[in-house]
Structure 1
């Protein structure tokens, strides 16, 4: 019964109260043990055997009492430790399950937010590029209708411009669709994909790109895709807003992390007053989702400097 009381106390109380209950239980056991020989001593039916003296009987009883006290004390300690260990393990499992549940909710929230940000970015890019091209094309086609009857040369010139604007809109649509592909690397290594992208960017924008990379080991697939998107977004911002003539991109491996540095010599801006920083916000959120650090430094007429550090976990 005393052991049941101690086990019950372990389930209900913290360690301090558990020890108090165990101490009371042990004291009760000792009291009952000391009172036992006087209360329940069997009646003597005859003279004691000649080989059993009174002193020997008392020593035997005392020895049994001492051993019982020690045994019960050890059992109490064992019960306290065992039940405490089981409760601690149960609590740890419960906390771990709760932490995993919160982590799953957080990951889902980040994923949904990243998806929403990506959709908003694409919608804004479609509006700024494709929408502008189609609006301008519509104006050129209206001019064709105006000059078709009176001046066919001007009508032909406006028609040529409308065709050019249509090609630009189609190219922008293809570029936007390409950003939605699940695997932007297309089986290439990260260095190869970035080299190809920077060369294409330099050819279409006439902005010089100095790209250097130093990676001793392959980059995990998901991290490589994220880094590719980060560089892609940075170059898109440079071509749209910076008025830069040169961009420097440096990707290096430093112990257990990857470092990406992107700098341009454009007009710069005040980060606190930036109103066109949607792409920068997306870059920061993508970096944070990978557990990395995003730093942005810019001032008017000093260009823009971005440094990203992402911890490297796992292999490709």
Structure 2
């Protein structure tokens, strides 16, 4: 309630009422001065206070109406500016406001329109740079493949190789304990099963990165559908996909979005322990929206964003296209990724 009465509209009403108060004091002082000094027959104390009372009542109504009306116009114009700022924050730089009053608010609106055009030009420059970067990446494809193989070899050594070694040690220990301590052997075999599942998830994530870096002429919808079909055959995850077949975006955006999907699925396979994943990609107006969610174990966003290579990569790919990236997650509540890219 206090915030409501602090709005521009009520400040206009207060200013009108303050003016009314000053006017009443001035008129009352003049009339009382005439009454005291000259004692005219037509002027009495009763007529003075009757006049002042009628004046206050009528002027109060007019002040409230005039303040509400004039303040409402200013409030509406500030609301337009607020909506434009919100659109800019969401990555929609084509929004414009037009005022005809010729005052300071109109000047601010025109400057906001110019700012939107500059931001839009910067987005175009970012996307042009992304196109150039994409062409350069294609020309350096062989070097990238070698580097990717080396990285996967390191991952195999650091993760899968160590887990297989642990599997070997646990299984050998279980065999030795099988006859004398069957319960202990059973516990160790449970640990073997968990380690095998983790190794399997790591291998699927590594195989996912072995896919082609580029779509190789396929549409984004076809490339993601093939990727999901392969994963469905090798995992127990249920996938739900919503992507238009005729999605009109540049090849650079398609390739970057495809890599973001790859990275997000890799993270899900490695860490989420999810049973259901949903991917929604749609184009509305001049923006591409992407939403990825899973029902996995979730994580602490503040800690993970500082350490997760996958999240950093997805954020960087989004920002290279002038887009925005946000991730929401809580422990045991799944993970939600939202990306918005201007087209």
Between Structure 1 and Structure 2, whose CA radius of gyration is higher?
1
TM-score (normalised: structure 1): 0.48
